[in-house]
Amino acid sequence: MPGHPGFHSNARAQWLYGHGVLPEYRGRGIGRKLIDATLAEARRIGLKRIGLSAFADNARAIALYDSFGFKHEGRLRDYALIDGKYADFIMMSLVFRLDVKGDGGAKAA
């Protein structure tokens, strides 16, 4: 398998980590399919909240998560020292809100 997503979980709020695709397979839609499948499963099992994080300069990953409706929740400044430069970390989340009419539909927020 060229890529994988991972979940770290409690009952309803889940943390998505380790989402990655082998370099030679990137840019072929695999990362998008992995998130798509992960979110479908998240909805199926009734999750309420999915959080994730990405380094602020990871434009590809952030664009991908933005396109699924993940919202930016915060920025951890100088989170890590990489190759002699401090890097910020962006916290993001997708929240599934139950339709107030109770028809079982869930909307991403």
75-84 LR contacts (CB < 8 Å, sep 24+) = 79/55, 80/55, 82/55
Least separation in angstroms between residue 57's CB and ligand COA is 10
Tell me which residues in 52-81 interact with ligand COA (CB under 6 A). 54, 58-61, 63-64, 67
Q: Which of 6, 29, 74, 105 binds ligand COA (CB under 6 A)?
A: 29
| Binding of ligand COA by 82 (CB under 6 A) | no
Q: Choose one: 14-22, 40-48, 76-84, 97-105; the region binding ligand COA (CB under 6 A).
A: 14-22
CA dihedral 18, 30, 1, 17 (to 10 degrees): 10
Give the CA count within 13 Å in the CB-facing half-sphere of 32.
10
